[in-house]
Structure 1
Amino acid sequence: MTLSLQSALFPGQVTHARLKPKEHRLSYRIYSLLLDLDELDALDKRLWLFSVDGFNLFSFRRKDRGDRSGSDLKGQVERSMRSAGIEPDGGPIRLLTMPRLLGWAFNPLSVFFCHGRDGALRAILWEVDNTFGERHGYMIPVVGQGDGGEIFQCCDKAFYVSPFMDMDLRYKFRVAAPGKHLSIRIDTFDADGLVLTARHLAKRRELTDMALLRAFLAIPFLTLRVVGGIHWEALKIWTKGVRLRARPHLPEEAVSFIRPPVAESVHSVRRIETNEPV
């Protein structure tokens, strides 16, 4: 009998709505994998079209995430949890990320959902990559949930991503741990209010070879499309007259640790400004 796995495929849609200094909107179809880090070896054996640390139509390499060393990825995330004041108990850690396609990948955002053995979500590691080959993470504890299990988090921006965005900004996250559906919303604020809203909506599919093949045929060469789309949208923003921002030095630490006493309550994070787009 084949055992059921927690890992899954999530085809969906990403949308951005920038409000200032110039309005700009985009929408792209994408798909991501939810990879339970304890299931990587089982996935490598079970699937013909997906490999771990090897070449295939779809693949994932442990060195793709974290400190890029290829060392125990779950151990790396658990060390970050401890640095943020969260003691891991060996519970599952599930990574939402785009796979390599024919050996190549680029992920603007990968998300580690860090659970306890009881299944409760205890922390989220938001791992951000920019097109300059740089990476930074935000490890944020889960301090409460709103209606429907939605989680609200926030942190100050510490890492340069878009050349059209200032550094003096604040992120507010609204997310539910992936189940039958995935919903992630990231609102970016400056001192005067909402600047940008990004949403990722997707629906769970069983991770099978047939599902992977259908995803590839629906959106061929996804990772190349992502990089091409980033540069195409940047060109359109530049033609609207938005000036470039200088790229600062990387943060000294690879991960920003938002410790539990500093984390805002669910109710305070839920107060989103009224000028946000619907």
Structure 2
Amino acid sequence: MNRRAVAADRRAAVADRTDGAVDSPAGQGSPLPGPWGAALYEARIGHLRRTPLRHAFTHRSYLWLVDLDHLPPVPALLRPLARFRSADHPGDPGLTIRQNLTAYLAGEGIALDPAGRVLMLTQARSLGHVFNPLTVYWCRDAAGQPVCTVAEVHNTYGQHHRYLVEESPVPKRFYVSPFFPVDGAYRLRLPEPGARLDLSVRLDRPDGTAFCATVRGERRPAGVRALLAAALRHPFATYAVSAHIRYQGIRLLLRGLPVQPRPQGDAGP
């Protein structure tokens, strides 16, 4: 199959995966809305563990949607509340986030168009800390056509892994929760967000669906007022994510759920 046909197949697969949301406003050639050309999503994040015991919780936070070629111009006085650093994502910390993503995709046989847009959904480093369980990248070519989606996963052991989401389900290859082994497959629904954010991740194991997570939110144009409002509504948001994960882990331990061994050297690409 020639390269043009392969590219067409990739675009079609991405369109299928995004449930028709590839033409959402955030994916067009015009800048993202707002004075900073970025968006904030007030998000409600839900977790549901189905086996071997049932456990559910939700928490609220806020996420950024940014164009990797035009990161938001956060004023110096507010930068402690929002920093986007290569060192907080996989790859060479001396390169940009986009350059590292380009290098990863090249290793997967995808040449990222330098003139194409890449949107990243993530938490920014705030007050000296960040922990991103899930960062998502939506990549388009110069004509605005979808090329691929990448899901970047971090665990609480400082490790990370990228999934190139070309089809669903995606085999699980990375140790995330200490209460699940590295088996099964993820069903990922990651439509590029517009006015609304609506993502879901489902882990299917040999004995059925074991876990579901959802991320839902409403878009607000990013700017000084929006950032201050989000930071006041969710103080120490990045610390809260880490604390919440550990708190829920302690609850599961107290309920008698056994810890699964962590594979050695599972740092991910």
Normalising by the residue count of structure 1, what TM-score does the alignment of the two structures yield? Answer: 0.79
Structure 1 residues 115-130: aligned runs within 5 Å: 115-130=140-155
Q: Deviations over 1:224-248 (max 9, x none)?
A: 1111100110011112211000110
Tell me the equivalent position of 1:109: 134
User: Is residue 2:120 matched to residue 1:89?
Assistant: no
Amino acid in structure 2 at the alignment position of 1:58: A
Tell me the equivalent position of 1:73: 97
Tell me the equivalent position of 2:210: 195
Task: Determine which structure has the larger helix proportion and give its number.
Answer: 2
Distance in 2, Cα, partners of 1:74 & 1:58: 18
Q: Which runs of 5+ in 1 are unaligned?
A: 142-151, 256-278
Equivalent pair of 1:8/1:207 in contact (CA under 8 Å): yes
Deviation at 1:85, TM superposition (A): 2.8
Distance in 2, Cα, partners of 1:101 & 1:125: 23
Tell me the equivalent position of 2:27: none
SS of 1:21 mapped into structure 2:
coil
Equivalent pair of 1:94/1:113 in contact (CA under 8 Å): yes
Q: Deviations over 1:239-269 (max 9, x none)?
A: 22110001102347x33xxxxxxxxxxxxxx
Normalising by the residue count of structure 2, what TM-score does the alignment of the two structures yield? Answer: 0.82
Tell me the equivalent position of 2:183: 168
Task: Determine which structure has the larger strand proportion and give its number.
Answer: 1
Q: Which runs of 4+ in 1 moved over 6 A?
A: none
Tell me the equivalent position of 2:256: 241
Equivalent pair of 1:30/1:222 in contact (CA under 8 Å): yes
Equivalent pair of 1:163/1:246 in contact (CA under 8 Å): yes
**Range 74-83 or range 130-139, more displaced:** 74-83
Classify 1:244/1:195 alpha carbon distance in 2 versus 1 (closer, same or farther; 3 Å): same
Task: Give the superposed CA RMSD.
Answer: 1.8
Distance in 1, Cα, partners of 2:169 & 2:141: 21
Deviation at 1:86, TM superposition (A): 2.4
Tell me the equivalent position of 2:51: 20
SS of 1:153 mapped into structure 2:
coil
Identity of aligned residues (%): 31
- How many pairs align? 235
Deviation at 1:66, TM superposition (A): 2.3
Classify 1:50/1:153 alpha carbon distance in 2 versus 1 (closer, same or farther; 3 Å): farther
Equivalent pair of 1:106/1:223 in contact (CA under 8 Å): yes
Distance in 2, Cα, partners of 1:70 & 1:135: 18
Distance in 1, Cα, partners of 2:231 & 2:157: 26
Q: Deviations over 1:87-145 (max 9, x none)?
A: 3222111111111112211111111111122222221111111111111111223xxxx
User: Is residue 2:62 matched to residue 1:31?
Assistant: yes
Deviation at 1:48, TM superposition (A): 5.2
Equivalent pair of 2:43/2:216 in contact (CA under 8 Å): yes
SS of 1:39 mapped into structure 2:
coil
Distance in 2, Cα, partners of 1:21 & 1:68: 39
Distance in 1, Cα, partners of 2:261 & 2:55: 21
Classify 1:157/1:112 alpha carbon distance in 2 versus 1 (closer, same or farther; 3 Å): same
Equivalent pair of 1:66/1:76 in contact (CA under 8 Å): yes
Tell me the equivalent position of 2:242: 227
